[in-house]
Structure 1
Amino acid sequence: MILGFNRNTPGHYLKFRLKLVLVLGLFFSGRAVYAQDSLFKVIPEPVYAKSTGQKMEIQPKTVIYYSESLAANAALINEAIRSYTGYLLPLSLQPEKSLAAVKVPGKEQHDPQQLVLSIDSLNVKMPSGYQLLIEKDKISIIGHDPSGVFYGIQSLIQLFHLSKKNILAIPQGEIKDYPRFNYRGMHLDVGRHLYTVDFLKKFIDLLSLYKFNVFHWHLTEDQGWRMEIKKYPKLQSVAAWRSGTIIGHKKETPHTFDGKKYGGYYTQDQIKEVVAYARSKYVNVLPEIEMPGHALAALTAYPELGCTGGPYQTAQFWGVFDDVFCAGNEQVYQFMEDVLDEVISLFPYAYIHIGGDECPKLKWKHCPKCQERIKTEGLKDEHELQGYFMNRIERYLAGKNKKAIGWDEVLEGGISKNTTIMNWRGEQSGITAAKAGYDVIMTPENLLYLDYYQSLNKDEPVAAGNYTPLSKVYAYEPVPDALSAKEAGFIKGIQAGVWTEYMSDEKHLEYMVFPRALAVSEIGWSQSGRKNYPWFLQKLRDQEALLRRRNVNYYPYFEELTADWKNENESTITVILKTTLPNALIRYTTDSSIPIVKSKVYQQPIPLDRSMELNAQLFVGNRATGRVFNQHFQHHLGLQKKITLANPGNGKYNFPAKLLLNGLEGHHRFNDSQWLGFSGKDLDAVVDLGKATPVSAIGVNLLNYHWQRMWAPKRLRFMGSLDGKNFKEIYTQENFDINGINKVNAQFPTQQLRYVRVVGENIGIIPKGAYGEGEKAWLMADEIIIN
């Protein structure tokens, strides 16, 4: 099985893969090489799949032939068959060499059907590759290695269809397959919320079904330390527990808490159990011990490891905290080495994740020990101090024959090239790392974090923030065009992130992860030319039955109604409604009523030529399905007029200025691409109405979420002008008391105006004592409304 990366020949390996794809294309030359086969609805999509149109049926007397090295795989497929049929098949242990000689049963001999598991690394050349051949009376799964046989079994299981006779029917044909990337990971944070060992096994089962091979187990956090460390018992008795948990979203203030003690940890015996179980499913377990940040729980147990000596308290809410491990304290390094010794003894995987993300330097700036360390080691600043910390840990792991993985912040202070980078903060940091010669696992937050909303529907449960629907996940390509072929060889795989602040139970976690995890599996396993979203959805509709059979509480609305907005002319916007659900009609209303079977059928874009509340509903036949789509539209004088910004938006909130005049008011979750954000800069917008126009009201929406570093302006001013040069102040506001959306609406005696100027003065730097102190404040604005 594939346990790690091959750094030595990334370029040769990439060229070999490309050549193999070309050879396969020339060899098979049929449509199935480049087009999907409708009977083989396997996720992730195989390299080659071609069915005959016929079916074979597994009978109770079908014999499973296997060699000793594949005994576990034989037991696995037998148990899978029993789960469908209620019976186990007879097993026949054979020498490996004799398996190739097992013949298809002859009709005249009435021999029993055969399911043959074997290894042939000469004919199945790619590691973890397999060939699945389904004939009338024989199924052959041939792997390059045992993991290849295992993955062939997972594909076979996805083809199972139970007939009325309690017999498994399977389409005949052939699949040839191997993974695109050696690293195909799924992360799970258990620091914020804890999950049972039984659930972790179920989770690992689902990962292996869809050919993931790494379970990244995030074991320590500010809100709880989840791993037993025998040398430090207070990590169990103190750090594993918090006194309560925040209620609702952290952006909502004042914060309220449930007051209930929460926590727990995994014993070393439980960890061994999970690791062994994962190993049996060809899943490697990557442990993560966070450092030097996200350490508040550990500091609560051992306050002498912090810069101030405490007292500390395990965090009850979510965020980034200033109290971190003291980088100038020698005791900290001894603590980390002791912890890592016990981690290493429990996790056989070649890699240990050492965190390195979101480590504020505020306490280090004022800590005599940290400043002395900077001086004695000849470091420039606190960023290089973190580099010293991480490099020291990396060297310790190397001395134990382990390699380090870190979040992309470890690049900032300098880190050894032996460290693999996870680029959570975006694609660019992965590009930078690959160009610098680091191994990279692509994990961009905005594309592969599954704690983000998967729908903009108002009924979605609370989630972390941004909007990442299934289609957006599936569209991700992990090898950027900006990389040369040599640099692309440093992209070792991908990983999705599951951060559990808002996933308090296992059903909610499943709802957030599936089916988006299936899209991630196809990104990591399937060749990029084999990806096809409509075909993926067709397969996913079949996979729903399998997910229900596995009792997975998956998100069922992945084909719900969505909308695009199009500017038809200066004053008219139309809405385009769409869905991928086959045979569905869209019915809609514009009077705020809920659509019924007699409501108008959507046939063309709807003009938003007045203020309205649009509701739309999918119907299959006469039956409404899914949830109601709802959108308010505000028609006003400024709609689609010319607008000029003195400062553009920043980061992920940098949208075209016309977004402020499109009639759509942004959601309080600020994940609908309707909010412009200005980091440390003012909102300064001038709207040109085209001609002198009577105006009696000006409004704008502003966000005030201090726990998101979003601050209302210290002063908001509305001004008007006829010539665009001489502006007269119309309205000023300096107090914004609402936590959330502040809808400012200034009414005044009618004035003739051509130009309207809106200025929101950013507070600049977040004040001391507030969340994110010392950083630039965000000023968030949406929809300038002129009437």
Structure 2
Amino acid sequence: MKYIRTYLVMIVALIAWPLSIWAQAGSAALPALIPLPVTITPTADAFYITPATRIVAGQASLNKIAGLLNGYVIGYGGKSLSKTAVAAGSDFISLTIDSTAVPYKEGYLLHIDKKAIRCIGHDAGGVLHGLQTLRQLWSGGGNSIKVPGYTIDDHPRFAYRGMALDVSRHLFPVSFIKKYIDLLALYKFNTFHWHLTDDQGWRIEIKQYPKLQSVAAWRNETLIGHKKELPHRFDGKRYGGYYTQQQIKEVVQYAADRQITIIPEIEMPGHASAALAAYPALGCTGGPYTTATYWGVFDDVYCAGNDSTFVFLQNVLDEVMALFPSAYIHIGGDECPKTRWRVCAKCQQRKRALRLADEHALQSYFIQRMEQYVNSKGRHIIGWDEILEGGLAPNATVMSWRGEEGGKAAIAQHHRVIMTPETNCYFDYYQSLYNEEPLAAGGFTPLQKVYGYEPLAGNTDNATSDYLAGVEGQAWSEYYTSEKQAAYMIFPRAMALAELAWTPTKQRNYDNFLNRLRGEARLLKQEKINYDAHFDDITYTSAPLQNNVLQINLQSSYPGGEIRFTTDNTGPTSQSALYTSAVEIKNTCTVKALLFNKKHQPAGRLFQQAFRIHKAVGAAVTLQNKPMDRFNPGNTTLVNGLFGSNRYNDNQWLGFSGNDLQAVIDLGKEQTVQHLSLEVLNYHWQRMWAPVTLQLLASKDGAHYSELYRQDSFPVNGINRLDVPVTPVQAQYIKVIGTNKGTIPAGEYGAGGNALLLIDEIVVE
């Protein structure tokens, strides 16, 4: 031990060099490590792992981790290494726990020189994290694996670094779950949130309730395509399955060996269709119920007035807690419609007996009752931010997904919070706007948006850091139709999340991250991960100039590449115009562009974007009502020459929640207007409703308007395009009025909530 401590003094002296000094050589000089360590300093020599290299486990508790290291070496093409108890001489890899030398939980010191590799962790987790860094450093293979010389001092930013996986919508085999856990460990996540139950299937064996296996685990068929498409189409194939308790135990141990805690999620009181199909007495109506075959939120939930509901859930949780030793159990609590509760005699009796103000308070009672039971077993609950409604359970942790407001509210009440806003952390959303992307949920979350997220940025409350536990990425599987597609959607976005969860904010840099990500391609290929490698694809920005002209900027993060483009609808080649600066678009056209590498070979996907030039492009737009935050890219979106897509995720749609649209376009001077067109979205399954009435009006002075056109019916499910020739009229101002549906009617998806009115490009000719 004296030998080790003496060596530590030398290590601490070496790592005093700040990362910024090392980085002065250029971001490309940093090794391909994700997440980026706190401090990394080069040493003079490399170490070579050969069949003669020994693994030294300083404590018996590290024997399993030593075995993992041996497996990593073998998996990389090396030979099995012998294990000894003493680090003597040279040519060894030592693993040691020393919380004095490494004061931060899960932190590690890694020193590599030509004689040995020493990995010292605050705890077993720290040792394993050090070995994951080692894996990302080495190269070569066979009888000589090269590890470049570095001294690395590292520890995590957040205590909670999680990734979820939904197996209810699509069931993944145990082999994939283990692979997923391996990847989480590689990128230093410490929590796997396993979403095991939902409307579309119950995926965990509960021996006391066998119908959860024979009925709830199966659905009659599965939706084909996107849920917004009507009529819904189905594959006609029975689908399902579940994990046995033995399989669960196996996976839990597999994760624990890799220092990952698994938190199970058992949904309540909503998302219960599958469970109700098996045990209909647990619902308000008594059924019959069926396991859901499509995606969404359903009115049938657990009955809050029925004591047998709580007995059932307590018995279920008893078996769950026996399988999962995690301190936390996730009980969902999200998206629970109150439709059935409002007319259920038992629920209303419960509400009166407890003198509850409304059904939100009834949900709070439900959650708090379950929390008391979980607490009585020495555990704690996590719930989605809806558990704030009606009053927060005393000891609950809140997972804030509908933005950050839920997290802020929970912190204000001194509750532990995990940030996972869907705008930044949902990996079922599209990661690019290219048409080649596989079907996804509908949002748009590119890699840079994930990387740039800063939880509760700008919050100066000193208490925030005490209650902000960390972050989590969500992998919902409605559109993960295969293991290959799941990996494509999750990686590399999970790697960006890993870095923001681990690396200090001031040391994060997106361009530098991309350099290291490109370097990770070798390791990802070795791990046979079908990740999205299109993060260097061409993107664009546009801005209106005077006289109805658009200025287009093309960009790519690809190092050393060049962009060639066309505007005549032909495909770009290496001989097409070279993009060097902003391009002015004066006429309606489609810009096509392609990225070329230094060898003049195509290096990405074809970019293409249509631009429509008309009299209103760049005109001033005044809105009577403020758009909703989710669909508010700016007033001029309505006249920017760009049309929104049916994916509605391209920042081109202006949206109003429950409010009417009233937009006035100032053309700048009186002109002849003889043609108008615009688009509205009609996706009831996304809560998007076309206006009840749409009016187009014109005025010379902005005070007195005459109606040019009115429409009261929008029959198309999707984009409804109005193409309206009008009697030529002189006008400077065009007014568009859209009457919002208001409240979504009963029987429709999202009944009782606000209808969304979405409108895009208003073309004036």
Structure 1 residue aligned with 2:668? 690
The residue type equivalent to 2:296 in the other structure is: G
Other structure's SS at 2:762 match: strand
Matched, 1:654 2:632: yes
The secondary structure found in structure 2 opposite 1:140 is strand
Q: 1:77 aligns with which of 63, 69, 73?
A: 69
Q: Which of 102, 118, 129 is residue 96 of structure 2 equivalent to?
A: 118
Q: Take 1:777 and 1:46, find their aligned partners in 2: how far apart are those partners?
A: 47
Which residue matches 1:89? 81
Match of 2:164 in 1: 187
CA distance in 1, matches of 2:732, 2:476: 49
Per the alignment, in what secondary structure is the counterpart of residue 148 of structure 2?
strand
Question: Partner of 1:15 in structure 2?
Answer: none
Matched positions, count: 750
In the TM superposition, what is the alpha-carbon distance from 1:24 to its structure 2 partner? Answer: 9.9
Letter in 2 for 1:46: P
Map Cα deviations across residues 44-79 of structure 1 (whole Å, 9 max, x no partner).
111110113532222221122223221111111112
Q: Which residue of 2 aligns with 1:31?
A: 20
Matched-pair contact (CA < 8 Å) for 2:551–2:582: yes
Is 2:756 aligned against 1:778? yes
Any unmatched runs of 5+ in structure 1? 1-22, 106-112
Name the structure 1 match of 2:34.
Answer: 43
**TM-score, length-normalised on structure 1?**
0.93
Q: Which amino acid in 2 is paired with 1:78? A: N
Give distance in 1, aligned partners of 2:547 and 2:238. Answer: 58
The equivalent residue for 1:636 is 614
Question: Residue 63 in 1 paired to residue 63 in 2?
Answer: no
1:611 aligns with 2:588: yes
Q: Determine the C-alpha separation between the residues in 2 that align with 1:662 and 1:492.
A: 42
Q: Is 1:354 aligned with 2:331? A: yes
Q: Matched residues, percent identical?
A: 48
Q: Deviations over 1:11-40 (max 9, x none)?
A: xxxxxxxxxxxx999943573477668253
Q: Distance in 1 between matches of 2:345 and 2:455?
A: 43
1:742 corresponds to? 720
**What code does the residue aligned with 2:17 have?**
F
1:430 paired residue among 398, 407, 416: 407
Of residues 607, 612, 623, the one that matches 1:645 is: 623
Q: Find 2:393's aligned residue among 416, 438, 453.
A: 416
2:417 is aligned, of 416, 432, 440, to: 440
Tell me what 2:322 maps to: 345
Question: What secondary structure is seen at the aligned counterpart in 2 of 1:696?
Answer: strand
Give yes or no for contact 1:80–1:157 (8 Å, CA) kept in 2: yes
Which of 529, 535, 544 is the aligned partner of 1:567? 544
CA distance in structure 1 between the aligned counterparts of 2:473 and 2:316, rounded to whole angstroms: 26
Are residue 627 (structure 1) and residue 601 (structure 2) matched? no
Deviates more, 1:328-337 or 1:745-754: 745-754
User: CA separation in 1, counterparts of 2:346 and 2:403?
Assistant: 33
Q: Could you tell me how far apart the structure 2 residues matched to 1:166 and 1:562 are? A: 44
**C-alpha separation between the residues in 2 aligned to 1:339 and 1:724?**
65
Q: Deviations over 1:327-347 (max 9, x none)?
A: 111110001101000001000
Distance in 2 (alpha carbons) for counterparts of 1:445 and 1:349: 25
The reply to whether residue 229 of structure 1 matches residue 214 of structure 2 is no
Match of 1:18 in 2: none
SS in 1 for 2:267: coil
Q: Report the residue type matching 1:516 in the other structure.
A: R
- Cα 1:661/1:739, change in 2 over 3 Å: same
Sort the Cα spacing of 1:606 and 1:733 in 2 relative to 1 into closer, same or farther, 3 A.
same
Q: What is the Cα deviation at residue 674 of structure 1?
A: 0.5
Give the AA of the match of 1:265. Y
Residue 5 of structure 1: aligned partner: none
Moved over 6 A (4+): 23-26, 33-37
Q: Structure 2: which amino acid aligns with 1:314?
A: T
Q: Deviations over 1:418-471 (max 9, x none)?
A: 110100111122122112211001111111011110000011111011111000
Q: Deviations over 1:202-261 (max 9, x none)?
A: 000000000001000000000001111111111111010111111100001111111110
The counterpart of 1:481, out of the listed 448, 451, 458, is: 458
SS across alignment from 2:604: strand
- Write the distance in 2 (CA, Å) between the matches of 1:757 and 1:87: 75
1:147–1:282 CA contact under 8 A, matched in 2: yes
- Three-state SS of the structure 2 residue aligned to 1:624 is coil
Q: Counterparts of 1:356 and 1:30 in 2: how far apart (Å)?
A: 43
Partners of 1:220 and 1:240 lie apart in 2 by: 9
Match in the other structure for 2:113: 135
Question: In the alignment, what sits opposite 1:398?
Answer: 375
Shift of 1:479: 4.1
Counterpart amino acid of residue 103 in structure 2: K
The verdict on how the C-alpha distance between 1:644 and 1:48 changes in structure 2, with shifts beyond 3 A counting, is: same
Look up the SS of the partner of 1:701 in the other structure.
strand
**In the superposition, relative to structure 1, how do residues 264 and 308 fare at CA in structure 2: closer, same or farther (>3 Å)?**
same
Q: Which residue of 1 aligns with 2:427?
A: 450
Q: Is the 8 A contact 1:39 1:51 kept in 2?
A: no
Give the CA deviation at 1:570. 5.5
* Structure 2 Cα separation of the partners of residues 537 and 29 of structure 1: 22
Q: Is the contact between residue 43 and residue 112 of structure 2 (CA under 8 Å) also seen in structure 1?
A: no
Structure 1 counterpart of 2:549, one-letter code: T
TM-score (norm 2): 0.96
Distance 2:567 2:469 in 1: 50
Task: Assess if the C-alpha contact under 8 Å between 2:50 and 2:78 holds in 1.
Answer: no
Q: What is the DSSP-based 3-state SS (H/G/I as helix, E as strand, rest coil) of the residue aligned with 2:477?
A: coil
2:298 equivalent in structure 1: 321
Kindly indicate whether the alpha-carbon contact (under 8 Å) linking 1:431 and 1:482 is maintained by their aligned counterparts in 2.
no
Evaluate the alpha carbon distance shift between residue 735 and residue 437 of structure 1 in structure 2; reply closer, same or farther with a 3 A threshold: same
Q: Contact 1:434–1:488 at 8 Å: present in 2 too?
A: no
Cα displacement string for residues 504-529 of structure 1 (whole angstroms, at most 9, x for unaligned residues): 11100000000111011111111222
CA contact under 8 A between 1:130 and 1:176: conserved in structure 2? yes
Q: Would you say 1:330 and 2:316 are equivalent positions?
A: no
Q: Is 1:700–1:781's contact at 8 Å kept on the other side of the alignment? A: yes
2:744 to 748, 766, 769: 766
1:651 CA displacement = 2.6
Question: What is the distance in 2 between the residues matched to 1:724 and 1:391?
Answer: 57
Distance in structure 2 (CA, Å) of the matches to 1:260 and 1:29:
59
Range 770-779 or range 391-400, more displaced = 770-779
Do the aligned partners of 1:132 and 1:152 also contact (CA within 8 Å) in 2?
yes
Alignment CA distance shift 1:24-1:538 (3 Å): farther
After TM superposition, give the deviation of residue 581 of structure 1 in Å.
Answer: 0.6
- Bigger CA drift: 34-43 or 725-734? 34-43
Tell me how far apart the structure 2 counterparts of residues 228 and 548 of structure 1 sit (CA, whole Å).
Answer: 35
Q: 1:650 to 1:130 in 2, by over 3 A?
A: same
Seen in structure 2, the aligned counterparts of structure 1 residues 318 and 24 have a Cα distance that, compared at 3 Å, is farther
Q: Which amino acid aligns with 1:234?
A: K
Question: 64-73 or 362-371: which moved more?
Answer: 64-73
CA, structure 1 residues 542+330, in 2 after alignment: closer, same or farther (shift >3 Å)?
same
CA deviation vs aligned residue, 1:668-693 (integer Å, no higher than 9, x gap): 10101110111112111111112221
> 1:545: how far off?
0.9
Deviation, 1:542, is 0.9
Alignment-derived partner of residue 754 in structure 1: 732
SS of residue in 1 equivalent to 2:678:
strand
Contact 2:360 2:389 in 1 (8 A): yes
Q: Amino acid of the residue matched to residue 674 of structure 1?
A: Q
Alpha-carbon RMSD across the aligned residues, in angstroms, is 1.6
Q: Which amino acid aligns with 1:513?
A: I
Conserved? CA contact 1:40–1:171, under 8 Å: no
Q: Which residue of 2 aligns with 1:536?
A: 513
CA distance in 1, matches of 2:528, 2:505: 31
Whether contact under 8 Å (1:454, 1:470) holds in the other structure is yes
| Conserved 8 A contact 1:189-1:219 | yes
- Pick one of 489, 494, 497 that aligns with 1:512: 489
Deviation at 1:655, TM superposition (A): 3.0
For residue 72 of structure 2, give the secondary structure of its aligned residue in structure 1. helix
